[in-house]
Amino acid sequence: MYQIIRLETVDSTNNFAYKFVKKNKGKNICGTVIYSGHQKQGRGIARNLWESEKDKNILTSIILCPHFLLPIEQFLISKSVSIGIIKYFRSKSIEAKIKWPNDIIINNRKIAGILIENSILGSNISTSIIGIGLNINQQKFLFSNKKPISLTNITNENYSLITELKILLENIFVEYNKLSISNFKEIDNEYFNNLYKKDEFVKYRANNSIFYAKIHSIDKIGRLVLITKQNKILKFNFKEISMEGF
């Protein structure tokens, strides 16, 4: 189903994957997984840096070829990967939630992030590079104000990174395969039902104003749809809104 390319260190697994796709144009590289013990320039959404101690966490990028999806449907990839990570933790009897669009939260703290970079060819998605940073064995985080957490912080156990990577990939590919058979409704429902703070009125900041709202839905193109206490419906793209206090 997949092959793993293991690197000692790299600037960014997503950067390496992008170059790998270009170098191997025309070859079947779908399902290739880039894995590294260390990233010099790990990235999150909007080029936020991802803090990771060397050989302590899962730093990986998965190359997929979702030709069956239209560009307008690309957020389904983010949904399926997020659900796969949720189910990875569920296999360990740990409850995790998805903070829109695709941060993974445990005990109100971030444990994983996803960065997806899609390439469009004609009317379909040609390749999708799924970058994942998942905190496994790191005990302390020095530079983030987001109060990250790791699996070892939760369980007080130490883990084999390659073993955990394979378990993670199994869960992700199960969910991704649902997309390949157009099982979109199940993906939509699972993503929505696992959203962080889904049923609460939360303080948000957008357009230089602060307001309380609750998640109403996620629209087809991945926008966050909120409903305010005054029953006003608001829609936001990535980085147009932030949750206060997080």
Q: Is the pLDDT of residue 43 over 80?
A: no
Residue 108's pLDDT band (cuts 50, 70, 90): very high
Are 118 and 87 within one domain? Answer: yes
Q: For residue 207, what are its two tokens?
A: 């357009």
Whether the link from the prior residue into 148 is cis, omega within 30° of 0, is: no
Poorest-pLDDT segment among 31-45, 112-126, 127-141: 31-45
Residue type, 35: Y
Q: With 0-12 CB in 10 A as exposed, 13-18 as middle and 19+ as buried, what is 231?
A: exposed
* Per-residue pLDDT tens digits for 193-232: 999 999 999 999 999 999 999 999 999 999 999 999 999 9
Residue 50's pLDDT band (cuts 50, 70, 90): low
Are 114 and 185 within one domain? Answer: yes
Segment 237-243 mean pLDDT? 94
CATH of the domain at 234: 2.30.30.100
Residue 48: per-residue pLDDT: 55
Q: For residues 78 and 76, give the distance between their C-alpha atoms in angstroms, rounded to a whole number.
A: 5
Are 119 and 213 within one domain? Answer: no
* Per-residue pLDDT tens digits for 12-29: 999 999 999 999 988 999
Which structural domain, as residue segments, surrounds residue 124?
3-193
Are 225 and 108 within one domain? Answer: no
Are 10 and 54 within one domain? Answer: yes
Residue type, 109: R
Angle in degrees, CA 110, 53, 139, rounded to 5:
60
Are 49 and 81 within one domain? Answer: yes
Q: Is residue 130 within a helix (H) or strand (E), and if so which, with residue range?
A: strand 124-134
Domain boundary among 175, 193, 211: 193
Segment 181-189 mean pLDDT? 96
Q: For residues 59 and 222, give the distance between their C-alpha atoms in angstroms, rounded to a whole number.
A: 25
Are 218 and 180 within one domain? Answer: no
Average pLDDT, the chain: 93
